[in-house]
Structure 1
Amino acid sequence: MTPAARPSQHAPELRAAARHIGRRRFLTATGAAAALAFAVNLPTAGTAAAAELDATRITDDPFTLGVASGDPLPGSVLLWTRLAPAPYQPDGGLPAGRVTVHWELAHDERFRRIARRGTATAHPEFHHTVHVEVDHLEADRVFYYRFRAGRWTSPTGRTRTAPPPGARVPALTLAAVSCQAYHDGYFTPYAHLAAEDVDVVFHLGDYLYEYAVNSAGGARNYTDRTLPALFNRETVTLEDYRLRYALYKTDPDLRAAHAAHPFVVTWDDHETENNYADGTPENSVPPEEFLLRRASAYRAYWEHQPLRRPQLPDGPDMRLYRRLHWGRLAQFDILDTRQYRSDQAYGDGAQLPGPVIDDPARTMTGATQERWLLDGWHSSRARWNVVPQQVTFSQRKLDLNPVAKLSMDAWDGYRASRRRILDGARAAGVDNLMVLTGDVHVAYAFDIKDDFDDPASRTLGTEIVATSIASGKDGAERPANWNTYLTANPHLRFYDGRRGYVTVTLEQRLARADFRAVPYVTRPGAPVTTAASFVTEAGAPGLKPA
Structure 2
Amino acid sequence: MISRRSLLAGGAGLGLTAALGASPVRAAARRAPISDPFQLGVASGEPAPDGVVLWTRLAMDPVALDGLGGMPSRPVPVEWQLAKDENFRHVVRRGVELAGPEAAHSVHVELDGLNPGTEYFYRFKAAGEISPVGRTLTTPARGTRGRALNLSFTSCADYQTGWFTPYRRMAEDQPDLIAFLGDYIYEYGDYKYPVRDQAGGECLDLAGYRLRHAQHKADPESQLAHAIAPWVVVWDDHDIENAWAGDVPEQPDPPFLKRRADAFQAYYENMPLRRAQKPNGSSLQLYRSIRWGAIANLHLLDTRQYRDIYACTGKSGTVGADCLERLAPNRTILGADQEAWLDGELRRSKATWDLLGQQVFFMEMDWTNGEGKGYSNEGWDGYVASRNRLAAAIDDNKRNGVVLTGDVHSHWAGEIKRDYQDPGSKSVAVELVTTSVTSAGNGLDEYPNTQVLLNENPHVKFFNGRRGYVRAKLTEQEMKVDFRSLSRVTEPYAPAYTSGSFVIEPGDPALHPA
The TM-score, its normalising length taken from structure 2, stands at 0.91
**Is 1:241 matched with 2:209?**
yes
Structure 2 residue aligned with 1:143: 120
Closer/same/farther in 2, CA of residues 160 and 170 from structure 1, 3 Å limit: closer
Whichever residue aligns with residue 177 of structure 2, its letter is: V
What is the aligned counterpart of 2:169 among 174, 192, 196? 192
Report matched runs for 1:287-326 at 5 Å: 289-326=255-292
Whichever residue aligns with residue 331 of structure 2, its letter is: R
Report matched runs for 1:17-416 at 5 Å: 60-89=35-64, 90=66, 91-213=68-190, 219-221=194-196, 228=199, 231=200, 233-286=201-254, 289-345=255-311, 346=313, 347-353=315-321, 354-416=323-385
Structure 1 residue aligned with 2:473: 505
- Please tell me whether the aligned partners of residues 116 and 139 of structure 2 are also in contact (alpha carbons under 8 angstroms): yes
Give 1:168 shift: 2.1
Whichever residue aligns with residue 40 of structure 2, its letter is: L
Give 1:426 shift: 2.0
Q: Deviation string for 1:423-461 (max 9, x for gaps)? A: 12222222x100000000000011112243667531101
Distance in structure 1 (CA, Å) of the matches to 2:165 and 2:380 = 30
**Counterpart of 2:170 in 1: which secondary structure?**
helix
- Please tell me whether the aligned partners of residues 374 and 428 of structure 1 are also in contact (alpha carbons under 8 angstroms): no
Identical columns (%):
44
Q: Deviation string for 1:468-511 (max 9, x for gaps)? A: 00000000000232112101110111000000000011111111
Whichever residue aligns with residue 116 of structure 2, its letter is: A
Give 1:77 shift: 1.1
Q: Deviation string for 1:50-95 (max 9, x for gaps)? A: xxxxxxxx96100001000001000001000000001111231111
**Counterpart of 1:421 in 2: which secondary structure?**
helix
What is the aligned counterpart of 1:494 among 451, 454, 462? 462
- Please tell me whether the aligned partners of residues 467 and 498 of structure 1 are also in contact (alpha carbons under 8 angstroms): yes
Distance in structure 1 (CA, Å) of the matches to 2:131 and 2:350 = 40
Structure 1 unmatched runs, 5+: 1-57
- Please tell me whether the aligned partners of residues 399 and 484 of structure 1 are also in contact (alpha carbons under 8 angstroms): no
What is the aligned counterpart of 2:395 among 416, 420, 426? 426
Whichever residue aligns with residue 62 of structure 2, its letter is: P
What is the aligned counterpart of 1:531 among 475, 481, 499? 499
Structure 2 unmatched runs, 5+: 1-32
* Bigger Cα displacement from structure 2, 446-455 vs 491-500: 446-455
Closer/same/farther in 2, CA of residues 221 and 239 from structure 1, 3 Å limit: closer
Whichever residue aligns with residue 172 of structure 1, its letter is: L
- Please tell me whether the aligned partners of residues 361 and 433 of structure 2 are also in contact (alpha carbons under 8 angstroms): yes
Distance in structure 2 (CA, Å) of the matches to 1:197 and 1:256 = 11
Closer/same/farther in 2, CA of residues 212 and 142 from structure 1, 3 Å limit: same
- Please tell me whether the aligned partners of residues 219 and 473 of structure 1 are also in contact (alpha carbons under 8 angstroms): no
Report matched runs for 1:456-495 at 5 Å: 457-495=425-463
Whichever residue aligns with residue 350 of structure 2, its letter is: R
**Counterpart of 1:220 in 2: which secondary structure?**
coil
Distance in structure 1 (CA, Å) of the matches to 2:34 and 2:156 = 35
* Bigger Cα displacement from structure 2, 116-125 vs 451-460: 451-460
Distance in structure 2 (CA, Å) of the matches to 1:545 and 1:455 = 24
Distance in structure 1 (CA, Å) of the matches to 2:208 and 2:34 = 25
**Counterpart of 1:297 in 2: which secondary structure?**
helix
**Counterpart of 2:259 in 1: which secondary structure?**
helix
Whichever residue aligns with residue 326 of structure 1, its letter is: W
Q: Deviation string for 1:121-165 (max 9, x for gaps)? A: 101100100000111000000111000002101100000000111
Give 1:285 shift: 2.1
The TM-score, its normalising length taken from structure 1, stands at 0.85
**Counterpart of 1:63 in 2: which secondary structure?**
coil
- Please tell me whether the aligned partners of residues 161 and 196 of structure 2 are also in contact (alpha carbons under 8 angstroms): no
- Please tell me whether the aligned partners of residues 301 and 358 of structure 2 are also in contact (alpha carbons under 8 angstroms): yes
Q: CA RMSD in A?
A: 1.5
Structure 2 residue aligned with 1:28: none
Whichever residue aligns with residue 51 of structure 2, its letter is: S
Distance in structure 2 (CA, Å) of the matches to 1:131 and 1:262 = 13
Whichever residue aligns with residue 75 of structure 1, its letter is: D
Distance in structure 1 (CA, Å) of the matches to 2:475 and 2:461 = 21
Distance in structure 2 (CA, Å) of the matches to 1:146 and 1:170 = 26
Give 1:370 shift: 0.1
Distance in structure 2 (CA, Å) of the matches to 1:109 and 1:170 = 22
Whichever residue aligns with residue 406 of structure 1, its letter is: Y
Q: Deviation string for 1:370-403 (max 9, x for gaps)? A: 0000011111111101100000100111023443
Whichever residue aligns with residue 515 of structure 1, its letter is: F
Structure 2 residue aligned with 1:6: none
- Please tell me whether the aligned partners of residues 140 and 147 of structure 2 are also in contact (alpha carbons under 8 angstroms): no
Closer/same/farther in 2, CA of residues 517 and 399 from structure 1, 3 Å limit: same
Distance in structure 2 (CA, Å) of the matches to 1:101 and 1:400 = 57
Distance in structure 1 (CA, Å) of the matches to 2:412 and 2:338 = 26
Size of the aligned set, in residue pairs, is 477
Distance in structure 1 (CA, Å) of the matches to 2:38 and 2:150 = 29
Closer/same/farther in 2, CA of residues 410 and 543 from structure 1, 3 Å limit: same
Whichever residue aligns with residue 434 of structure 1, its letter is: V
Distance in structure 1 (CA, Å) of the matches to 2:152 and 2:422 = 31
Whichever residue aligns with residue 150 of structure 2, its letter is: T
**Counterpart of 1:144 in 2: which secondary structure?**
strand
- Please tell me whether the aligned partners of residues 44 and 229 of structure 2 are also in contact (alpha carbons under 8 angstroms): yes
Distance in structure 2 (CA, Å) of the matches to 1:433 and 1:402 = 32
Q: Deviation string for 1:171-193 (max 9, x for gaps)? A: 11100110001111111111111
Closer/same/farther in 2, CA of residues 264 and 221 from structure 1, 3 Å limit: closer
